[in-house]
Amino acid sequence: MTGPKQTLQTTESRAPSRGRRRTRADEQRDDTERTQDEREVCPECGTDAITDDEHGETVCGDCGMVLEEDLVDHGPEWRAFDSREKNEKSRVGAPTTQMLHDKGLSSVIDWQNKDAYGSALSPRKRQKMQRLRTWDERFRAQSARDRNLKQALGEITRMASALDLPDNVQETASVVYRRALEDDLLPGRSIEAMATASLYAAARQANVPRSLDEFAPVSRVDRREFARAYRYIVKELDLALEPADPLDYLPRFCSELAVPNELKHRAEELLEAGKRQSVHSGKSPVGLAAAAIYAASLLTDEKLTQREIGEAADVSEVTIRNRYKELLQADEEFQQTPQATA
């Protein structure tokens, strides 16, 4: 009787042992998660902790208490001191982007006719690589939707480069065009018009001031056509766009004209006074910004002609003459209000 009982006890003792090992693993995982949560706040003063990647430490941002040291660096093991060295040592591809029709997930054959050692290819191999590039381009855009996206996103990149727009505007424009394509808004409208409208809407969303007149020279379609496409996109996609502010155009025009800061500040004050008096309602923000610069130049005794300002802002001299008088009158009326005297 003793032998079987001992065997039974041994078997029963092993089963809970395996159960305890699983429980310990869970407890260790929970302890690790609790430890990570505790690292975010200093236990002494309750201030948020700061991770110093350079020294491999987590320290309190207030009292300086070291919460953890010898952190693991999850970055690359190599160092690079310029962009060329970084590209040579990097072993990963570019991140995904909305600016490519396949979001950058497909492979691209390099245009350089060199092998892995940097040696030039023979004429026969160069001819073979050229054929492979051609087939690679065809396979990357097989469907009609991919070909549409490829052409449109190429137009967006070209126009954004010509207008010196940042990458975030290009990304937003690509997303807007993809939404228009998914909602089947393109039938009956040209790809170029919808691409231009998407880029203009993205610039408006990012508060990067560009007027429709600035898009006209770089677009492949007529101004009236892409303006109609822009209104259609805003309505169908329900884009939340605020009216263009003349103050957004002012820094760029002042930079092109190389005006002093005093003139720039005075022009901002004129535009603010004009907005309080509702002078900007129904008028072009570009014309108002140009008129504010001219009016400020008269008030600060700076020698700026209407022609110089008109060429920088791409507006006519007649527009500047009409608008600057309205801004000066609005500023004079605002100075007489109790709000200005207070």
Please compute, for residue 329, the number of CA atoms within 13 A of its CA located in the half-sphere on the CB side.
9
266, 180, 165: which is closest to 231 by C-alpha?
180
* Residue 20: band (very low, low, confident or very high) from pLDDT cuts 50, 70, 90: very low
Residue percentage of the chain with pLDDT more than 90: 28
What are 50's two structure tokens? 């700061």
* Residues 195-242 pLDDT 10s: 999 999 999 988 888 888 889 999 999 999 999 999 999 999 998 888
Residue 219, pLDDT score: 93
Q: For 278-301, b where at least 16 C-beta lie within 10 A, e where not — what string?
A: ebbeebbbbbbbbbbbbbbbeebe
Mean pLDDT across 7-22: 41
Residue 41, pLDDT score: 80
* Residues 39-72 pLDDT 10s: 468 887 878 888 877 777 888 878 877 888 877 7
Residue 38, pLDDT score: 43
Residue 183, pLDDT score: 92
Query: Has 254 been labeled as part of a binding site?
Result: no
Residue 17, pLDDT score: 42
Helix (H) or strand (E) holding 234: helix 223-237
pLDDT at 189 exceeding the cut of 60: yes
pTM, two decimals, is 0.63
pLDDT at 33 exceeding the cut of 70: no
Residue 82, pLDDT score: 81
The whole-chain average pLDDT of the chain stands at 81
Report d(CA 204, CA 211) in Å as an integer: 9
Burial of 27: CB neighbours in 10 Å, binned 0-12, 13-18, 19+? exposed
pLDDT at 29 exceeding the cut of 80: no
DSSP state of 188: T
Residue 35, pLDDT score: 47
Report d(CA 295, CA 31) in Å as an integer: 67
Residue 194, pLDDT score: 95
Q: Which of 82-91, 171-180, 190-199, 214-223 comes out lowest in average pLDDT?
A: 82-91
Query: Has 63 been labeled as part of a binding site?
Result: yes
* Residues 251-296 pLDDT 10s: 889 998 988 999 999 999 899 888 887 887 778 888 999 999 999 9
* Residues 119-148 pLDDT 10s: 888 889 889 888 888 888 777 777 888 889
Query: Has 42 been labeled as part of a binding site?
Result: yes
Report d(CA 58, CA 131) in Å as an integer: 54
* Residues 312-338 pLDDT 10s: 888 889 999 888 888 888 888 877 776
Residue 145, pLDDT score: 86
